[in-house]
Amino acid sequence: MKIGQQIKFLRQQNMLTQEELADRCELSKGFISLLERDMTSPSIATLKDILEALGTDLASFFAEAEEEKVVFGDEDYAVKEDNELGNKICWLIPNAQKNEMEPIMVTLEPSGKTYPDNPHEGEEIGYVLEGTVNIVIGNTKHIAKKGQSFFIKPDKPHYIANRSTQRPARILWISSPPSF
């Protein structure tokens, strides 16, 4: 870890100039400049003072940041099958319910459908990857084919049904906020 670069990052994050940070720590602007360029090293006491002025402490400053996972595969997916309705829901991002949106892959068996969803806050979009589906919103039915997308304001009960009695349908479906 380059201490100076991390201090500079924290200083900028706190919207402080080198001079303002120096004043808060009773140091010179020149010392802060040298420190941020890793041309000098602070004593432990000085580093503690700088970090306190930046709103952190030694333990947090030196803690290894856990690398955030960006790419997910089969081993990460959670799947729920509903044999009664003829659907399979695959959550594409683990713990997505804590995010602002939740992507799922829905597979509808021939004549299968999703469980009817009650009105809720947010928005939903989908993209039909295979097949043709009915998107039922309240009493209105819309048809979406492979390669088409849809947008739902979920202010009415809604569900999706596979129009085919022969082939499955697959949909990429994203809710914001998460609702599945």
* Identity of the residue numbered 80: K
Q: How far apart are CA 41 and CA 138, in angstroms?
A: 66
Long-range contacts of the stretch 47-51 (C-beta < 8 A, 24+): 47/3, 49/25, 50/7, 50/21, 50/25, 51/10
74-176 maps to which CATH number? 2.60.120.10
Position 141 scores a pLDDT of: 97
Q: Which residue, chain included where needed, has tokens 């000085």?
A: 46
- Strands in 132-137's sheet, in edge-to-edge order, are 140-145, 132-137, 158-162
pLDDT of residue 103: 95
Q: Is the pTM of this model over 0.85?
A: no
- At residue 104's C-alpha, the angle toward residues 100 and 107, to 5°, is 160
What string of pLDDT tens digits covers the 180 residues of the chain? 789 999 999 999 999 999 999 999 999 999 999 999 999 999 999 999 999 999 999 999 988 766 778 899 999 999 999 999 999 999 999 887 778 899 999 999 999 999 999 998 899 999 999 999 999 999 999 999 999 999 999 999 999 999 999 999 999 999 998 876
Residue 147 CA to residue 149 CA, distance in Å, equals: 7
pLDDT of residue 66: 67
- Domain 3-62 sits in CATH 3.40.50.300: no
Q: What is the pLDDT of residue 180?
A: 62
Residue 87, pLDDT score: 97
Domain boundaries, the chain: 3-62, 74-176
